[in-house]
Amino acid sequence: MKISKILVLAAMILVTMNPQVLLAQGYPNKPIRMVVPFPPGGGGDLIGRLLGDAFSRRVNQSVVVENRPGGDTIIGITAVAQAAPDGYTLLVTGDNITVHEAYQMKLPYNSFKDIIPVTKIANVPLIIMTSQQAGFKNLAELLAAARAKPGQVKFAHLGHSTHHYLSFKLLEQLGNIKMLDIPYKGTGPATNALLAGDIELAIMGVGAGAQLAQGGKAVAIGVTSTKREVAAPGVSTIAEGGLPDFSMVAKFYVFATGGTPQDIMARLNAEFVAILKDKPIVDRLTAAGFGVDPGTSAEAQASIRVDYEKLRKLVVSAGLKAED
């Protein structure tokens, strides 16, 4: 009996001496840094600040939202990937990591090991728009025009690692067409070029595109998701328009540093899922064009893996290259 008690006591001492166990028991007991690899004012910044404020109130700790833009989000992601795995440095970003890995870019971290998803935040469906001057009214007319004039129909994009560019490349592949890509430094300049008739096609958030279509300023060709969107009533999917295998949806996630203790990961998941089920938060994100979709860490990892494999296949088959 005495030996049994001694063994139990020894086990308890070993558990309490384990730094990860001690860390998890008191978490969080100091301010948390939430890195957002985007400049202030955009959609990613909105999500980060909204979640950071809600998380701070739930855990009664200060959450400092730190904008670390640059390097196509790689600078901000690196800061989290190289942080201590203690749950005090978090990342809110889009699924740029899948794009970087699909291009097999040289990165200072392993996207699948050095950061791990806490939960998916939201899906971000996009909408393909055409100018009034182009004369296309639907996907079939767009494809016919592009086939009749290979390399002459122009589309706007914001860089090779964006879903704007990849969506059009998928459209080219599935539609058996060739278009001309024109880079822009932001959604605003690209939209202005579309409205002026300088380009025929652009991709944007569903809400913004629907407003342009409703105002008669541009024509909606279709949404990039697999189902129709509430924010764009009456607009069919690209799949419905004639390319059944087409789907391209951007996503946002909360990440922690790889190696973060499971107890802390479980706490983080529980807190952020609760936040993302809170009606005022959901309403705010929905109004901004985000389809809130939280879940488990394992589900988020599976989603990332599926998207990576899909994008890697597109990059290889279409011979796409990352920008220098």
Please provide the distance, in angstroms rounded to a whole number, between the alpha carbons at the two ends of the chain: 69
What per-residue confidence (pLDDT) applies to 95? Answer: 87
**Helix (H/G/I), strand (E/B), else coil: 184:** coil
Give the whole-angstrom CA distance, residue 215 versus residue 210: 8
What per-residue confidence (pLDDT) applies to 9? Answer: 55
* CATH 3.40.190.150 domain residues, the chain: 30-124+250-318
What per-residue confidence (pLDDT) applies to 14? Answer: 52
CATH code for the part of the protein at 126-241: 3.40.190.10
**Strand order through the sheet with 115-124:** 63-67, 32-36, 89-94, 250-257, 115-124, 291-292
Are 292 and 121 in contact, with CB atoms under 8 Å apart? yes
Which residues, in sequence order, are CB contacts of 283 under 8 Å at separation 6+? none
Selection from 313, 264, 303 nearest residue 122 by Cα: 303
What per-residue confidence (pLDDT) applies to 6? Answer: 57
What per-residue confidence (pLDDT) applies to 22? Answer: 47
For the chain, the C-alpha Rg in angstroms (whole number) is: 22
What per-residue confidence (pLDDT) applies to 217? Answer: 97
Alpha-carbon 302 to chain mean position = 14
Instruction: Name residue 219's beta-bridge partners.
Output: 130
* CATH 3.40.190.10 domain residues, the chain: 126-241
CATH of 30-124+250-318, one of 3.90.1150.140, 3.40.190.150, 3.20.20.150, 3.60.15.10: 3.40.190.150
DSSP H stretches of helix in 87-185: 96-102, 139-148, 163-175
pLDDT tens by residue, the chain, 324 residues? 455 555 555 555 554 555 544 456 689 999 999 999 998 988 899 999 999 999 999 999 999 999 999 999 999 999 999 999 999 999 999 988 999 999 999 999 999 999 999 999 999 989 999 999 999 999 999 999 999 999 999 999 988 989 999 999 999 999 999 999 999 988 889 999 999 999 999 999 898 999 999 999 999 999 999 999 988 888 999 999 999 999 999 999 999 999 999 999 999 999 999 999 999 999 999 988 899 999 999 999 999 999 999 999 999 999 999 876
Tokens 């390097």 belong to which residue? 71
**Helix (H/G/I), strand (E/B), else coil: 182:** strand
What per-residue confidence (pLDDT) applies to 4? Answer: 58
What per-residue confidence (pLDDT) applies to 21? Answer: 47
What per-residue confidence (pLDDT) applies to 5? Answer: 59
**Helix (H/G/I), strand (E/B), else coil: 144:** helix
Distances (CA, A) of 129 to 110, 171, 232: 35, 13, 12
Please tell me the total number of residues recorded for the chain in this structure.
Answer: 324
Q: How many H-runs (helices) and E-runs (strands) does the chain carry?
A: 13, 11
**Maximum CA pair distance of the chain?**
89
